[in-house]
Amino acid sequence: MLTLLLSLALLSFDKGEAQHSAWLQSEVVADKSADLKMASRRYTPPEGKVGDVWLVGVSHIGNTSFYAGIEELVSSCDLVLYESVMPEITRGPEGETPQEKRESTRAAMEWLADIVMMTDAQEETAATSLDEVEVRVVKVDRRLVDAVRAVREDAWGHPVGLAFNDNRTVLVSMGADGLSGGQDESEDLQVIVPLPETSSSTQGIQQALATALKLDFQLAVLPYEREDWVVSDMTWENLESRFQAEGIDIEGLSGMLEGSSLPAGIVKLFLRMLPALDMLTGGAITDGVKVMLVELLGREDAIDLALREVGGAGGTILINDRNAVVIEDLNTYLESGEHPCIAVLYGAGHMVDMAHRLEDMGWREAEVRWLPGISVDLENSRLSKMHMAMIRTSINQALERLKNRD
């Protein structure tokens, strides 16, 4: 179980070049506090260029104050680039030929139909417009708002409509001419919204971890729906292709994050037991898990092992390959000269490589801010010195076993 928790906690962190202290610091003061701090750095442009760049390191779970601090920091920028691996179609339907446009539009409508189904199920009533769907989807995943915006037009630039037929919700594209009826490329396209699934959706393991530890979940609290927040990442198809080329099972990684794999299910069972365990220990169990995460994330050998758990070149793909996409997008926005300040909001472990790439382009660090991501008040905790010693011993023993495992 520690192996899975370690991989989940560190999935957004990278070993870099033994420079963790530059972006990540674990501070434990005996009997007082334990803090995991993450850095945000502002870079100024080289001569002849314009636009400051903030590299903002985040984690998927953290203190409420941490995300409030992040939101306040990036509010000084007019563009925020963030990570989110999504299907290619969520960038909007397109195509060169009439057939390609029809196929792309249908694929986008099928994706949107699933989103409508999810929001209808959550609200327990059918949406009456796509405007309503766009508002509702914030409660499902705030990052999906931008994707819904992108697929609300078909490949010909006409709005996709929402209609009702025999008590079923239907998405409609009027085809190439934008008029009802027609033939060939002008023929209407219709996709019926699926009925809600009988089983409830699986809560992601990282969200379950945040809930159990009384922390916030990054994707639930940051304002990804803002129009000046733009996704900058690999598509799911590109990421899957890269993993397949390296012979790595990306489905196993996906199952771990979604909480559908067996090991993740065991961890989620443990997390559901935390409230009862806390009642017996006065909150010591939750504090203990937080301290474990703070201590783990401050250890280079733990980070090495977490990346090894991804398998083969998986760590390089998840960090370097995705960073290359961000830098390409960043260059495009910087070259336009329209953005005096751009923030890149990514997992803290991406930042060692990201900073090197930015510095190679001539940008130089001008400011750094440290924000506590996970904190434990040891003065008011039931955790004793003996508990702290046991946590460190357990971590050392578990990591040693992982090191010796083939």
Q: 279: Cβ–Cβ under 8 A, 6 or more apart, which residues? A: none
> For residue 16, what pLDDT is reported?
42
> For residue 319, what pLDDT is reported?
86
> For residue 280, what pLDDT is reported?
59
> For residue 154, what pLDDT is reported?
96
Spans in the chain with pLDDT lower than 70:
1-21, 197-203, 251-274, 276-281, 298-312, 399, 402-403, 405-406
DSSP string, 296-333: HTT-HHHHHHHHHHH-TTHHHIIIIIHHHHHHHHHHHH
DSSP string, 146-177: HHHHHTSB-TTSPBPEEEEETTEEEEEE-TTT
Nearest CA among 219, 372, 368 for reference residue 293: 372
Give the tens place of pLDDT for each residue, 305-361: 666 655 557 778 888 899 999 999 999 999 998 999 999 999 888 898 999 999 999
Q: 124: Cβ–Cβ under 8 A, 6 or more apart, which residues? A: none
> For residue 203, what pLDDT is reported?
60
Report the C-alpha gap between 359 and 177 in whole angstroms.
49
The residue extents of the domains of the chain are 2-83+202-404, 89-192
DSSP 191: E
DSSP 387: H
> For residue 324, what pLDDT is reported?
96
Backbone dihedral angles phi then psi of residue 90, each to the nearest 5 degrees: -70, -5
> For residue 17, what pLDDT is reported?
40
Find out whether 171 and 161 touch, Cβ atoms under 8 Å.
yes
> For residue 175, what pLDDT is reported?
94
> For residue 309, what pLDDT is reported?
59
The β-bridge partners of 55 are 41, 344
Looking up tokens 């919204």 gives 193
Query: Structure pTM?
Result: 0.84
Give the tens place of pLDDT for each residue, 136-154: 999 888 999 999 999 999 9
Find out whether 315 and 307 touch, Cβ atoms under 8 Å.
yes
- Amino acid identity, position 196: P
Backbone dihedral angles phi then psi of residue 326, each to the nearest 5 degrees: -60, -45
Report the C-alpha gap between 10 and 295 in whole angstroms.
12
- Amino acid identity, position 289: V
> For residue 261, what pLDDT is reported?
47
Report the C-alpha gap between 54 and 40 in whole angstroms.
7
> For residue 255, what pLDDT is reported?
53
> For residue 366, what pLDDT is reported?
96
